[in-house]
Amino acid sequence: MPELPEVEVTRRGLAPQLTGRTISGVSVREPRLRWPVPRDVLGLAGRTVRTIRRRGKYLLVDCGDGHLILHLGMSGSLRVLPPGTPPQKHDHFDLVLGDRVLRLRDPRRFGAVLWTCGDADAHPLLAHLGIEPLSRSLTPARLHALTRGNRIAIKNFLMDGRRIVGVGNIYASESLFRAGITPRKRSGRLTLQECSRLSKAIKATLQAAIRAGGSTLRDFVGADGGSGYAQQRHFVYDRAGKNCRRCRTPIRKLQQGQRSTYYCPTCQR
């Protein structure tokens, strides 16, 4: 599933190609995505794209009187193509902007194309989302306060989007490795010093993944169709049995919340 870095890479690729351009047409070939594509989307022609921003794993396309809300789901990608490019089997949605087309490809159809006329941040899918991990709001003190009284493992805590949004499974494991914290530790037992290390590690991990173009484990490609290569630099994720890049101890794997967690038993005591 595309995580925050992959969505941010997509946003950065789309913004310069779409901002300021007028929508000239919309094509919905398959409306049965995670949620049905609303008919309002078909009436977007004539609106101008003002900005494209990200909230968690959602992309918000500001059209002036409303926002197009896009989500990549588990296997989706957004690409900018020349008009007239023949659609393939899983190409479900096109936003035509004169001499270019924004196309959503989503084999599993867990993505989303929605429209809201109100405050996008108040939309039911976004209103409950937690702190943006790359924002100034994620400070050691704020993370320490959020974890107080929580008995769940810190790995599961990081994946709860109601607290911190968009970290995801890959980057939770990677962040905990950078911070030297075992994924099993109860989040409420983290010290302020550990929260300082972890908040810095989360930001560093996500920023490094963005610079690398995201992680391409199966389906993800950026707006230009290129694959990311952050997975080539993972410290622990998907490296069970391989030597730790720091201490040479074999990386271990465990299941937490039905998701795979990877860690170094030496570096993350």
Q: Which listed residue (3, 6, 8, 174) is catalytic? A: 3
d(CA 220, CA 103): 14
- For 142-192, the DSSP string reads HHHHHHTT--SBHHHHHT-TTTB-S-HHHHHHHHHHHHT--TTSBGGG--H
Alpha carbons 268 and 9: distance in angstroms, whole number? 29
Q: Which of 163, 185, 253, 259 is catalytic?
A: 259
Say if residues 25 and 46 touch (Cβ distance below 8 Å).
Answer: no
In the annotation, is 36 catalytic?
no
- Active site includes 29? no
User: Closest by alpha carbon to 115, among 69, 72, 73?
Assistant: 69
Neighbours of 151 (CB within 10 A): 9
Backbone dihedral region for residue 10 (phi beyond 0: left; psi -120 to 50: alpha; all else: beta): alpha
259 is a catalytic site residue:
yes
**Cα 250 to Cα 114: distance, rounded to the nearest angstrom:** 45
Rg (CA), the chain: 20
Q: Is residue 39 flagged as an active site residue? A: no
Task: Spot the catalytic one: 55, 57, 178, 197.
Answer: 57
Q: Which of 264, 88, 79 is nearest to 174 (CA)?
A: 264
Q: What is the largest CA-CA distance in the chain?
A: 59
C-alpha separations of 215 from 9, 94, 229 in Å: 10, 25, 6
The catalytic position among 2, 5, 133, 183 is: 2
Question: What is the C-alpha separation between 6 and 167, in angstroms, rounded?
Answer: 11
What residues act catalytically?
A: 2-3, 57, 259
